[in-house]
Structures are given as C-alpha cells and as structure tokens.
Amino acid sequence: MRVAYICADPGVPVFGTKGSSVHVQEIVRAWRRAGADVTVYCTRAGTDRPADLAGLPVVEIRPQPASGAAREHAIREAAVALALAVIRDGCDVVYERYSLFSPALAMVTFAGALRIPAVLEVNAPLIEEQRQYRELHDAGLAERMLRTNAAAATVVACVSEPAVRWVEGRVPGARTVLAPNGVNTERITPRRPVRLHADALTVAFVGTLKPWHGVGHLLQGVAQANIRSAGPTWRAKIIGDGPCRQELEWTAEQLGVDAEFTGAVVPDSVPGLLHECDAAAAPYPAPEPGRDDYFSPLKVYEYLAAGLPVIASSVGQIPSILQHERTGLLVKPADPGAIAAALGRLGADAALRDRLGTRARAAAVGLYSWDSVLATIRQALATDRSVA
C-alpha cells in the first residue's frame, strides 16, 4: 500500500521542532508500522530529520517568495504542484494535513478513472486562526479550498469535537470522524527517579510560547507555591520557544522564580528533558466567550507517557484525557492560586507524585498510542477494503 502524505502549509516543517511537526512525523510512523510505503509531499521539509525517518522519501516544492494575497496564491500554486507530483508518482491512499490554500487532496482524489481513498486531517479552524492571529487576505480562496477538499475526502479526521462541528458547519455532508491526538510511548519513556536539584522540584512545560498556552499563569503559580509551602521549593523548566519568551523570562525574574528556558529543541530531545522533571503543566487560560477549545493537546499526552503527574486546566478536551486525582490534577483555568495549591500537594507528597505518574504512564500506553489514532481513521475508511 502506497500512502502519499501531503503537508502544503509552509508554517509546518515536516522535520521541525513544532508540535505540528511532531504530529506529521508520528502519523507517518504509524502508517509505516501498519505496513505502508509512505512518501511525504510538502512545501517545507525542515532540517531536523530524526534518524528513524532518514530513509523517508520527501518531495519538497517551496512557494515562490511573495507577500500579502500574492503569498497565499503562491502557496496554492505550490500545493497544485505537489498534487501533480503525487499523481505522477501514484498512490493507493492520499492523506493531507489541512492547510488554508491547498486544493491538493481533491486534485489527487479525482485524478484518473478510480476515486482514490482520501483523508483530510483537520487540527484547527485555520480560517479563524489566520484572521485572529495573522493576516488573511483572500478569505474566499481559503473557504473554497476547505469546501473542495472536505467534500472530496473519504474521511475528514478531526482532532476534537469542536473541530468536527467547525467542519460540518462549513461543509454539510462532510464525512467526519473524531481522531484525537496520541503519543509515541516508545519514543517517550517513563522518567528516571533521579533529581538533578536536590533542594528543589521541577515542573515542566512543553510548547510554543504564545499567549494562549498560559505559561505566565504557571510562573505565578510556582511563585505562590514557593511562598506558601514549607516543603521543597519548585523551579520551572520551559521547553520551547516563541514570541512570548522575552516577556516570560522577565516575569520569572520579577517573581523570583528559578526558570530554565531551553529554547526550541528537536522532538528527540524532549523525553530526556522531561526525565529531569518531577511534574508537568498545561496551564491553558479560560476559553474566550463564544469560542470552543478545539485543540487536542500533544503536550498532555507526552507528559502522561513520561510518567509525570500532570497539572492541567480543566478546559476543552483535557478532562476527557486526564482523570482528576488518578492520572493528574485538574485546576481552574487562569488561576495561579489553583496551580500553586496543586504544586503544594505534589511537593508535600512524594507518594502522590509516584502514584499519579505510574497511572499516567499506564493510560498513555493503554489508551493513547498513535497506532490507535490511525486505526480509528482506517476503520472509517473500511468501505474501501484496500485500506481497511
């Protein structure tokens, strides 16, 4: 079985340090473990190729340099070229990570006499994201590409219920399936019971340093926990980079929090960094009124796989992933005091840390593998027996 994986978003390097890059790599690995020959077609290959994907065939076609609306149309033209490359090479299944301006999946799906089974993977409502956080010049083009690809797809795999609703609201009749994210429990193994800082505990955060990840609330929570607690103090390990880094470093300094900022790291470095920590946090802020939390948090799955007790905001999909008091501690969003209280409990009770961490690892192995994510998607393709 030949699978063509298409990623036409130049903001998602296939071999990069972003969570989206991890997602691309893990779906590719899952297809390969299922026995498929995978070729990746992308607009940005990236430079941080992991060793186990050294032999993965990659076709890269970069968009012509441009700005504004011209850039959006250049991305579309690059995606068209990728589709033509897939059609030239041939495939049995086409799998595309949804991007704003690509018609590739529809082009490949309807090429030739037989309709090729196709999966469109939707990770976010990109049209709204682009409008709110970046610039969207040709909204009509973005809307047409979504409708064209979603209508052409055999299956539209969405990472969350809000993402399902978003697709179905724009493309009535789209054949959606819920396929939340997962974790590679062979890549991320349980942490070693070794503390690098004898006089302090370490709480980790993994992710891009952007406002909607709530890292400032975590730093405030650490500061409050250290003021309140008579037990071990807490320090923070912030794994990742982004536009808020300088502000967050300043915040940590003002609060007197011992915080290590690693900067961007390749995915293969993340397990070792988590092994140096005693807990991990996903301190998402409260959702904005009228806006669903559509994300499926890769970081939470990785924390579970590392066997770390997790402190996470009770928003979006997180309560369906974490069992409060069993695999982690759920806290009120945007509440540093609640984070401080959870850190205080974990700091005072080593047995609680160990118990939550052990159960977290078991949940990751038993429930959240990437193979099970792909199995859900392939089951939805079961009408085509060649890919079932």
CATH 3.40.50.2000 region(s) of the chain? 2-182+370-380, 200-367
Higher pLDDT, 290 or 104: 104
CA dist., res. 260 & res. 18, Å (int): 19
Confidence of residue 230 (pLDDT cuts 50, 70, 90): confident
Helix (H) or strand (E) holding 350: helix 350-367
CA dist., res. 237 & res. 275, Å (int): 11
CA dist., res. 301 & res. 278, Å (int): 16
Of 89-98, 125-134, 340-349, the one with minimum mean pLDDT is 125-134
CB-CB contact of 53 with 84 (8 Å): no
Residue 386's pLDDT is: 47
CB-CB contact of 150 with 167 (8 Å): yes
pLDDT above 90 as % of the chain: 85
CB-CB contact of 107 with 83 (8 Å): yes
pLDDT digits (tens, 9 = 90+) for 354-368: 999 999 999 999 999
Q: Is residue 196 scored above 70 in pLDDT? A: no
Residue 292's pLDDT is: 57
User: Who's near 2: CB < 8 A, 6+ residues apart?
Assistant: 36, 37, 38, 39, 90, 91, 92, 93
Class of domain 2-182+370-380 as given by CATH = alpha beta
Crossing angle of helices 350-367 and 298-305, rounded to 10°: 110
CA dist., res. 171 & res. 186, Å (int): 37
Q: Is residue 150 scored above 50 in pLDDT? A: yes
Confidence of residue 290 (pLDDT cuts 50, 70, 90): low
H-type alpha helices, 233-295: 245-255, 270-275
For 290, the token pair is 């009228």
This prediction has a pTM of: 0.89
CB-CB contact of 31 with 374 (8 Å): yes
Residue 114's pLDDT is: 63
CA dist., res. 340 & res. 281, Å (int): 11
CATH architecture of 200-367: 3-Layer(aba) Sandwich (3.40)
Residue 90's pLDDT is: 94
Mean pLDDT (the chain) is 93
Q: Average pLDDT, stretch 316-336?
A: 95
CB-CB contact of 23 with 124 (8 Å): no
Confidence of residue 335 (pLDDT cuts 50, 70, 90): very high
